Structure 1
Amino acid sequence: MGRSFEQYQKRKLISSYFSVVLSIGLVLFLLGALGLLLLNTKKMADHFKEQITISLFLKDSAKEVEVDQLLKSLEVMEYTKLATYVSKEAAAEKHSEEIGENFLEFLGYNPLKNSIDIQLNADFVSPEQIEEIAAELSKKKHVDEVSYDKPLVGLLSENVKRISFWILVASAVFTFIAMLLINSSIRLSIYSKRFIIKTMQMVGATKTFIRRPFIWTNVKLGMLGAILALLGLGGVLYYLDQNFPEMDLFHDIPQLAILFGSVFVLGVLISWISTYMAAQRFLNLRTDELYY
């Protein structure tokens, strides 16, 4: 009978520890994922910004040598990420594929112009800067017309600012919620041992002596939860890197190391503080208050 009760208590204790580790792990995983999103917000924003293209339509009188010189001069500009020459034949072929029919047969001639497509560096993608760049490019000798999607540029810049702001707000709110959830899990775990705490106190044990094993146990659980969260984050990073290599998530290893280290330290720190506060609360209760 005594052995069965002992096994029951052991299973109950393991179940309690497992619950705390799982709660801490899930909360830290979500917090780490949000941190990962926050760190990569600029990178993702830059990726979308660099898809913006300025098209320079060239005059028919422009010679091949002059076009090559213009292309080379554009490639060395600080705002240029990539400059590509597109012949009117290639443009016609691409347009035919998009509309699903050969419009050259219908028209009898090619109305398109040779062009140079410029993809800009992300730092230069804003309505004001692109307007200045377009004005400068339109003055070049062999350029007939400069074209870009002006509404898209404005919409992209506005949305990037809005999303960045709300991610910061969400990060702050979620960090606070994470602390509450971890604190609640640890507090419930210590609540089940409140009578043991009071008994130890009544036989003369000091508060420090009583708190120490609870703090050490929950700090270890916090470490296990943090490791669980980091394994999950590592899996997510690997999956994203395999399926979206253009995001180059493993490019900045020190940044990832700081994020992973922060998640681990946060798990340990919150566990320590929550255990200290919960244990202190039950140490300060009167015996008759333990039943409420």
Structure 2
Amino acid sequence: MTNSYDSFQKRRLRSSYASVIISIAIVLFMIGILGLILLKSTKVANHFKEEVVMSLFLKDEVTKDQINSFRESLVKESFTKELYFISKEEAAKTYSKDLGEDFLDFLGSNPLKNGIDLHLNADYVTPEQMQELEQKFLKNAYVIDVSYDKPLVEQLTKNIQRISFWLLVLSGFFAVVSIILINSSIRLSIYSKRFNIKTMQMVGATKNFIRKPFIWQSIRLGLIGALIALVILAFVIYYIDKYIPSLELTKDYLSLLYLASGILISSLIITWVSTYFATQRFLNLQTNELYY
């Protein structure tokens, strides 16, 4: 009879552990998917920002040596992503191609200017930053005019801020839900041992002594759940990269490292905190309250 009861208890315990691991794995997988969206949304937003071009038109009297010197100084600036020099001859060819006829035959001379197309780093593509750069370049002795699409920059900034806000709201919601779900699973697993907790407490065991094995057990379960979530997430990332290679998911090692680290750290923090408060609750209960 005793062996049968012990066997039943072990099966029940394994079932409880399995449910905790599955719950943690599912929640952490969802957190991983959301984290992936957040990381890639930032990269996509930065990609669009860095496609914005600021054109610097140079004065006719600026020499080639001065142009080269100016280009070298721009390359060293923190705001520069990349730049391209476009001579007035190249600009005339492009303009004629767009028009479908050679406008130089009609005008007799080339009115266009030598220019530099400047792609800025994403952090500098805001209405305020670009306006400051515009004023700075207009004071330069080589520059006669600066041009960029101001309405596009303003609209791009507003849209990115709006999307970022809702992604943060969604992230906060998922974080709360994940904590509640994992906390509930851990509390249920500890609930089955509430009598053991109270017995240890009655024979003089300290709260920290009682709590410690439960915390370590939950952390181990959390790590197992995190590893399962990471394996499933790896398959999802592999197939997304296979069918949408433009996202370059498998090549972005730094983002993947951040994602994996975030999932592992989340599992440790959530399981530790949940176990601490769950055990604290049962430690504070009176003996007659354990039956309810």
Q: Report the Cα offset of residue 225 of structure 1.
A: 1.6
Residue 46 of structure 2 corresponds to: 46
Residue 101 of structure 2 corresponds to: 104
Contact 1:91 1:112 in 2 (8 A): no
Q: Report the Cα offset of residue 47 of structure 1.
A: 2.8
Tell me the SS of whatever aligns to 2:101: helix
Contact 1:55 1:117 in 2 (8 A): yes
The C-alpha deviation readout for 1:103-158, integer Å capped at 9, x for no partner, is: 339xx979995754221233432223323444565677887764321111112233
Overall identity of the aligned pairs, in %: 45
C-alpha separation in 1, matches of 2:68 and 2:237: 38
Residue 89 of structure 1 corresponds to: 93
Structure 1 residues without counterparts, runs of 5 or longer: 96-101
Contact 2:201 2:283 in 1 (8 A): no
TM-score by length of 1: 0.67
Residue 70 of structure 2 corresponds to: 73
C-alpha separation in 2, matches of 1:32 and 1:220: 19
C-alpha separation in 2, matches of 1:220 and 1:119: 48
| Structure 2 letter corresponding to 1:19 | S
Residue 98 of structure 1 corresponds to: none
Contact 1:57 1:145 in 2 (8 A): yes
Cα distance change, pair 67–117 in 1 and its aligned pair in 2 (3 A): farther
Q: Report the Cα offset of residue 91 of structure 1.
A: 4.8
Residue 249 of structure 1 corresponds to: 252
Residue 124 of structure 2 corresponds to: 124
Cα distance change, pair 247–263 in 1 and its aligned pair in 2 (3 A): closer
Residue 16 of structure 2 corresponds to: 16
Q: Report the Cα offset of residue 288 of structure 1.
A: 4.5
Higher mean alpha-carbon deviation, 73-82 vs 31-40, is at 31-40
Contact 1:44 1:247 in 2 (8 A): no
Residue 99 of structure 1 corresponds to: none
Cα distance change, pair 236–47 in 1 and its aligned pair in 2 (3 A): farther
| Structure 2 letter corresponding to 1:89 | K
Across the aligned residues of Structure 1 and Structure 2, the Cα RMSD in angstroms comes to 4.7
Tell me the SS of whatever aligns to 1:76: helix
Q: Report the Cα offset of residue 8 of structure 1.
A: 5.8
TM-score by length of 2: 0.67
Residue 264 of structure 1 corresponds to: 264
Cα distance change, pair 50–67 in 1 and its aligned pair in 2 (3 A): farther
